[in-house]
Amino acid sequence: MVTIESSLLNIGYFETLSYQRTPLHRLDPRAKLLTTVVFIIAVVSFGKYEITGLLPLVIYPVALIAVGNLPPGYLVRKILLAAPFAFFIGIFNPLLDRNVLVQLGPVGLSGGWISFASIMIRFTLTVSAALILIASTGLNAVCLALERLGAPTSFVVQLLFLYRYIFVLTDEALRLVRARALRSFQGRGLGFKVFTYLIGQLLLRTLARAQRIHLAMRSRGFDGKIRLVRPLEIHLKDAVFFVGWSTLFILMRWYNIPQLLGHLLTGLAR
């Protein structure tokens, strides 16, 4: 029961982070969304053996975390929570690609290990950018930005409801777990059979609660449009944020900055 409550609080903590009034939070959601999309495209467009070219892109999440006053430890924990998916995708690369590409003294690194490291770096960069977007904007504003940018209204509303109904689902699950705990003595009521009953009850309760919420929304005049208290307006700072970062991403994509700096330092040392 404590695990369910803590999970619910962790989900809601993103909304709490989006209520801050830092320069990053005051930017238009469309500017942050488009900048994040350009960043993700730049990251995933690198070759599978690219590592050094990806490293300068770390400046984007680091700068946004500092400006937005976001907790880095909390974001790192969320990244680590999803890291096993990328880990198990790339861990088989060393078995499939054994050609040595880099020789570090007596140790040779195969292409499989290099591509595995590249996958993990790209995963960390893209997931951190998405988490920072949600933490600095809020899902309501992100969905409204998607709608203003031309995304189908039905898709945006479904995305917003999917997020909101997570709280409904966890709230009903918390009630069921608490009721079972109060009625369980000496280990009774904790078997698999009771668990299947709980899943069925959770589905029925969630559907019934969702129907009541839908009726309440319709009675309050909900017409399928997402509205915010603060209207969206593009200002000069939003354009500078998008153009400046996008230009930097393009330059980092086409020019390997660590390699250029290495050549420069090598030339100066001669």
Helix%, strand%, coil% for the chain, nearest 5: 70, 5, 25
**Tens digit of pLDDT for each residue in 38-83?**
999 999 998 888 888 889 999 999 999 999 999 998 899 888 888 8
% the chain with pLDDT above 90? 26
pTM of this prediction?
0.80
At residue 202, the pLDDT reads 77
**Tens digit of pLDDT for each residue in 176-194?**
777 777 776 665 656 666 7
The answer for 221, left when phi > 0, alpha when psi is -120 to 50, beta otherwise, is: left
Task: Name the amino acid, one letter, at 27.
Answer: L
At residue 67, the pLDDT reads 93
Angle in degrees, CA 21, 22, 23, rounded to 5: 125
